[in-house]
Structure 1
């Protein structure tokens, strides 16, 4: 590597909720661990893929749901800080963690944690579908047309005028309610189906009803980047999503690095306007009907597929953050165009589903210049086998069953 990291400053993977098969956390552990940075992680138990990594110095088993009171979660992080006993870079892997860190910066910084300092209200606003839509409108960033019904009368009025199909999403990217309004991104084909679903949303439906962007007229793009305290990009990457799981709506299953200066410029200008600092993971859909990139999701943290992206100097967004927060320079370099990323346990069912739909991604290269696997690594094989063991153990729902459950709620129509 043409750069040296500060090995005296460890990293801590921060995650809240029960999702042990998370390849993004494993990728972050490997990314910094291979450079000699001591890595720690909050895990559901001692037998998760992350806990099995040879690059993890220690796991902190802590079962959470994401519905805990913030004070309780902050207290838990402060206890871990006392056990670590030295400055540590926080690496959130979900919105709950990113928002918690943003809203409790003073006590966490006082405990020795290192993280990008940001407007405390901004991560929650960006993670919210309504907050993000309002910011897009305010700053002239294209996004799907959307409405936010305050009650059933608004839904009835929308059903009379809207062009179907439409997409329904939970208004907040994460919810502390016991019953979310919809199961992820849900495509609703008819007004009758909308009225039927709305009967279970209560007096104050926490949903966004959004324009459906037909996949036959669109392409799914990804932006990952790290921005410093001046909202200047220190590492910027663009790519195209080939397959996701659930199909056309979920997490990335297969993607390629594709140079897109126009998209990078859109992201950089938006971040500068809102003053964000830190790692971003953006999902955008290019609408061929009007030639616009429409911002669908803004994750104010590391994305699970971040290891798709690395520049010629060997810098990814997690490494860029650690370097910058520890006072090191972040080497520049071109991204690895044509490189691909495959999530083994979800790409096969995604491939079968996409073949049935006939969907293709025109900008995907015909041949990859290299491949990064989410789970398998020759120098760190145990997370892969731990993933397989947890995937097939009794009580684990098969991926096809998960897809069927998603389809019963409505066919997804845009990336979540």
Structure 2
């Protein structure tokens, strides 16, 4: 294991109140097992992450949305509780964008990667990402940004229905779950596109319409990496999504570390061009011609980042801590073939696709590679988060089922724009 400066603690920051975010738990365990004191901003200290033996202290999010001023006050308060400078690692897009904006006032309290001004917000913005891909000639789905409801209808028809609709700044939707808005929607008719555009003011950002790239086994890929000065990669790898929830289009329920030179070249080229420093998570989809289109750029760890753990235990959050504390980051010793499984979502995906869905991606592994499994929730040395997740998840499922039954029993006078989620369950 690398030599860590264990006198420097870590604060994990997550502003999206999602109790089932297994990426936060993965970071707690990874850093805690290295002997680092781990703090986390979470929705509830009684949630699954708060039960981990490797979490030194949970700091609960206050109720309601957090603008920059109250967030800065909260982080300063937490810094006083910690008592010494700490590495700050945002675990969602909102947190990454806010941390970059507040980097100046937080100087001396927290260690953060020195990013070009506004970079996390730029790459997380879907419209900015589309423009960036055009500049670099990276494959990206054909995209239209309509300026009116009629333009939205015309663009949807021109791209070829159904089309994928995205809000440019999806992190602004946090707290709007009851409005029916989703970060990503499958638009099937011209009228649906027109009505969705009329919700632009409520969404808080521009509407994008993109040509749909059909999903199939082996088409969805991702890249996770940690970068230092000048966009130099400390550790990184490409992986294939083998199961998703929702099926075919959602978050990674089962993924495998598989070398993919084209995905890796695109990721490294993009990071060097931007001068990116820190952790990133990229999503790609292969089209019928074999080109890998960049779909999303997340300026923080992906939920399945522990998939890319080398033989010495190095992963992206450990590499970032080493880099920001001035320690040497050893050259990674790869372990392709590793499998990541998010138990709750893998179960849902398997059940949903057992009879009607497409087959999962081939899980044959890599010849000569490692075949060990990284589980999102269960760990023999830290069992309480798994037990807490299972109980909370089952209770949440019962509550949602009861609400749907009540809703179906009440006649609706109006119907909202149908939202068919293509993206992951609500994150940053």
Alignment gaps of 5+ in structure 1: none
User: 2:69 corresponds to which residue?
Assistant: 71
User: 1:40 corresponds to which residue?
Assistant: 39
| Contact 2:169 2:205 survives alignment (8 Å) | no
Which has the higher mean CA deviation after the structures are superposed, 389-398 or 144-153? 389-398
1:385 paired with 2:379, answer no
Counterpart of 2:392 in 1: which secondary structure?
Answer: helix
Matches within 5 A, 1:115-264: 115-175=112-172, 179=176, 182-201=181-200, 206-216=206-216, 219-264=219-264
Please state how far the C-alpha of 1:388 moved relative to its aligned partner. 1.4
Counterpart of 1:230 in 2: which secondary structure?
Answer: helix
Matches within 5 A, 1:395-414: 396-397=399-400, 409-413=418-422
Alignment gaps of 5+ in structure 2: 409-416
| Contact 2:217 2:361 survives alignment (8 Å) | no
Give the TM-score taking structure 1 as reference length: 0.91
Q: In 1, distance between residues paired with 2:311 and 2:174? A: 44
User: 1:102 corresponds to which residue?
Assistant: 100
Please state how far the C-alpha of 1:151 moved relative to its aligned partner. 1.8
Change in CA separation of 1:294 and 1:370 when aligned onto 2, cut-off 3 Å: same
Please state how far the C-alpha of 1:236 moved relative to its aligned partner. 1.1
Counterpart of 1:337 in 2: which secondary structure?
Answer: coil
Counterpart of 2:88 in 1: which secondary structure?
Answer: strand
Q: In 1, distance between residues paired with 2:42 and 2:205? A: 33
Q: In 1, distance between residues paired with 2:357 and 2:403? A: 16
Count of aligned pairs:
409
User: 2:50 corresponds to which residue?
Assistant: 51
Please state how far the C-alpha of 1:274 moved relative to its aligned partner. 1.3
Change in CA separation of 1:147 and 1:94 when aligned onto 2, cut-off 3 Å: same
Change in CA separation of 1:127 and 1:396 when aligned onto 2, cut-off 3 Å: farther
Please state how far the C-alpha of 1:249 moved relative to its aligned partner. 2.4
1:274 paired with 2:283, answer no
Please state how far the C-alpha of 1:244 moved relative to its aligned partner. 1.5
Change in CA separation of 1:22 and 1:177 when aligned onto 2, cut-off 3 Å: closer
Q: In 2, distance between residues paired with 1:51 and 1:353? A: 30
Give the TM-score taking structure 2 as reference length: 0.88
Please state how far the C-alpha of 1:313 moved relative to its aligned partner. 2.5
Runs of 4+ residues over 6 Å off in structure 1: none
Please state how far the C-alpha of 1:311 moved relative to its aligned partner. 1.6
User: 2:284 corresponds to which residue?
Assistant: 284
